[in-house]
Structure 1
Amino acid sequence: MSSSKLTKICAYSLIICHFVLLATSCSPSTVTPTTPESVPLDQPEPLSFEDDAGREITLPQKPQRIVVLSPQLLNLLYAVGGRAVARATSTGETVPETAENLEDVGGMTTVHTEKLLALKPDLVIGSTVFHRDLAGVLDESRVPFALFKLGTYSDLKEKAVLFGKIAGTEGKAKEELVKLDRQMNQLTAKVPANQAPTFIMLNVTPSSISVQRQNMIGLEVAAMLKMKNVAETLPASDTSPSTAPFSLEKIVELNPDFIFILIHGARTEGEHKIRSDLAGQPAWASLRAVKENRLAILPSDLFLSNPGFRLNESVEYLAKLVYPDVYGHGK
């Protein structure tokens, strides 16, 4: 082959290689798609609220290890579908069957803080009356601690909604409230409009007797039935503004249509106190309520402490005692 032909072949080869390289460089490159990092769409929102002690509580998420120190509040939590891992106990108080075997952290007024903290709770619920002094140790341990009161029907409605939010069962809480409202309206609608019977409510303990002036669920139930508490205007006790010192002379002067008794503690001891301090007194026997058998010892779980979603039972129980012709005879 001549040198001129070889030169031409080399030139053609270079031209072809040039075009091949050019075509390769201009072709679209293959891009490997990258998967974006997954972003959680259901990240829980924190829940903030103010308790009845004025404390601001923030829960970063739905609590999973709740400890409840009051039977009243435990009953309410369970009624709206919530659950707890431990509870405090109290003599004479009932709790839901599903809560009976919960871990015990002591009595309602004698909580074992070491045992409580060992459970690593993410929320502790207590009573404004009994548990304020636990705030220091729980705050120091960075355990969310909420204090509540459950005295009135209004308290019940407010706390039921809040407990539903805490437990993630707000829908059930609202359903239960609608049901209770309906039952309460049906009961109170039958109250005679032309009657307003008078009453007093006595607190009996093994060592004392006092008259309830205000701030008790039993008084609110009586008011729903259009009853008049004649002890409301009595001078308050020095140690308890909601009660008045017991004075048989004053009660004879008021002479109410009904006398209701609430026993604090063991019923047998309370009944003994009634027999020893009241039953033998001629002035007591002269009272209209005693002579006409309108004296009743009321169940503490329905009238002394707020019964929660059993409040309709409280209304019906008292209505049968006061208006038997309308509601039927009670116990």
Structure 2
Amino acid sequence: MHRSKRLLRILIGSLALILAAGCAQTTPPDSGNQNEESKAVSGQEQSKQSITFQDDTGRTVSLATQPKRIVVLSPQLLDLLYAVGGTAIARTSATGGNVPEQAKQIEDIGGITTVNTEKLLSLKPDLVIGSPNFHRNLATILDTSNIPFAMFNLSTYKDLKEKAPLLGKLSGSESKANEELAKLDQRIGQYVGKVPADKTPTFVMLNVTPSSVSVQRTNTVGLEVAKMLKMKNVAESLEAAQNSQSTAPYSLEKLVELNPDYVFILIHGAKEAGEKKIQSDLSSQPAWASLRAVKENRMTVLSSDLMLSNPGFRLDESVAYLAKLVYPERFGNGQ
């Protein structure tokens, strides 16, 4: 009897030692695995939040998290940012530039070419978005202040298709940007599908500023819209200007030689100043009247809002506008 009790005590003691040893062995490995898993999850979350991309000047922009304090220096890019669901804390102003209703009350930091850098830096933005044409000189200032800076072109439909999803990603609304692009494609297709297949009208598109006249060669929204409508730009083969690959120097003699079906004019800046330039440098010249487009009343000053600056998700309005001018029998009177 005593022997049985003694054996029972020995068995119970051994079992207790085994259980204690088991607990001591399993706790540290589990804790270590949990730490490693936590680190992995944390790394994945940080990876999802960080954004890295290349702008149109070749600069690599890396953001640790989604930006919350964005300053936009280009009216077109500001409009697109808001169209994809984003917001900004400050903007510039430009003659003729449309400001989204929601952005009218945000900080104004000067003109598109006269940015108040002191004011810009004081806002402590976590991303500044500008244009290569106007804002390259700000790169050094912003880099020195460790403020991420990206410069984008927004001239063509291709630019729009690239920039809308990126701005959507920066705003946390990439799906909205892609949805809007799909809708735009569909709306444009409704016009392009009705263009007469047996016609390829020729044209020239002129830029008129208060001080100069130039010819559009390539890579502008107006030329791209015309191409959608199966029009041929006879100035595309002209030699590019020294300071701009997208334009060629204006020559009335060359224009008479090309003699396109249509002459389109786009006024940059103040309308009155542009109209004076058209009168002095174009319509008052005797050879101007000899152009087929002038004689047949196919010379038109186009809407700058729709044909000079990329109108973003309203690009179908640009297509409709030009389609009515060129194919009135198919799309109605464009006047």
Q: TM-score, normalised by structure 2?
A: 0.85
What is the aligned partner in structure 2 of residue 249 from structure 1?
253
2:125 to 104, 121, 127: 121
Aligned to 1:232: 236
- The answer to whether residue 326 in structure 2 is matched with residue 322 in structure 1 is yes
Aligned to 2:94: 90
Q: How big is each residue's C-alpha offset from its partner over 1:5-61, in whole Å with a ceiling of 9 and x where there is no partner?
A: xxxxxxxxxxxxxx9xx99xx8x99xxxxxx99x78766521111111111111111
CA offset digits 1:73-127 (Å, max 9, x no partner): 1111111000000001111111211111210111111111110011010110111
Letter of the aligned partner of 1:219 in structure 2?
A: L
Greater displacement, 45-54 / 67-76: 45-54
Match of 1:207 in 2: 211
Shift in Å, 1:173: 0.7
Residue aligning to 1:105: 109
Unaligned runs of 5+ in 2: 1-8, 21-33
Root mean square deviation of aligned Cα: 2.3
Matching residue of 1:4 = none
Match of 2:74 in 1: 70
Deviation track 1:280-320 (CA, whole Å, cap 9, x = no partner) reads 22211121111111111111121112111111111110000
Q: Which amino acid aligns with 1:100?
A: K
Q: By how many angstroms is 1:132 displaced?
A: 1.2
Q: Where does residue 196 of structure 1 map in the other structure? A: 200
Which residue of structure 1 lines up, in the alignment, with residue 49 of structure 2? 45
The Cα offsets for residues 178-197 of structure 1, whole Å up to 9 and x where unpaired, read as 10011111110111100000
Structure 1 residues 73-82 or 208-217, which shifts more? 208-217
**What TM-score results when the alignment is normalised by the length of structure 1?**
0.86
2:250 partner letter: F
What is the aligned partner in structure 1 of residue 295 from structure 2?
291
**Cα distance in 1 between the residues matched to 2:50 and 2:114:** 31
Deviations 1:220-242 (A, max 9, x none): 11111111111112232233332
User: Which of the numbers 258, 268, 280 marks the counterpart of 2:284?
Assistant: 280
Q: Distance in 2 between matches of 1:236 and 1:50?
A: 27
Shift of residue 275, structure 1, vs aligned partner = 1.4
**Matches of 2:228 and 2:178, distance apart in 1:** 22
Percent of counterpart pairs with the same letter? 64
Q: Secondary structure at the match of 1:131?
A: helix
Count of residues paired in the alignment:
306
Q: Tell me by how many angstroms 1:323 deviates.
A: 0.2
Amino acid at match of 1:285: A
CA distance in 2, matches of 1:89, 1:61: 28
Supply the distance in 1 between the matched residues of 2:74 and 2:55 (Cα, whole angstroms): 15
2:87 aligns to what SS in structure 1? coil
Q: In structure 2, what is the Cα distance between the partners aligned to 1:177 and 1:302?
A: 17
Counterparts of 2:233 and 2:118, CA distance in 1:
45
What does 1:53-68 align with in structure 2 at a 5 Å threshold? 53-68=57-72
Unmatched 5+ stretches in structure 1: 1-18, 30-35
Quote the offset at 1:277 in angstroms.
2.1
User: Which amino acid counterpart does residue 102 of structure 1 have in structure 2?
Assistant: I
The structure number with the bigger radius of gyration is 1
Instruction: Name the CA shift for 1:120/1:308 in 2 (closer, same or farther; >3 Å).
Output: same
CA distance in 1, matches of 2:331, 2:228: 14
- Measure, in 1, the Cα distance between the counterparts of 2:177 and 2:282: 44
Bigger CA drift: 151-160 or 271-280?
271-280
2:162 aligned to which of 153, 158, 173:
158
> Which stretches of structure 1, 4 residues or more, deviate above 4 A after TM superposition?
39-44
Bigger shift: 62-71 or 212-221? 212-221
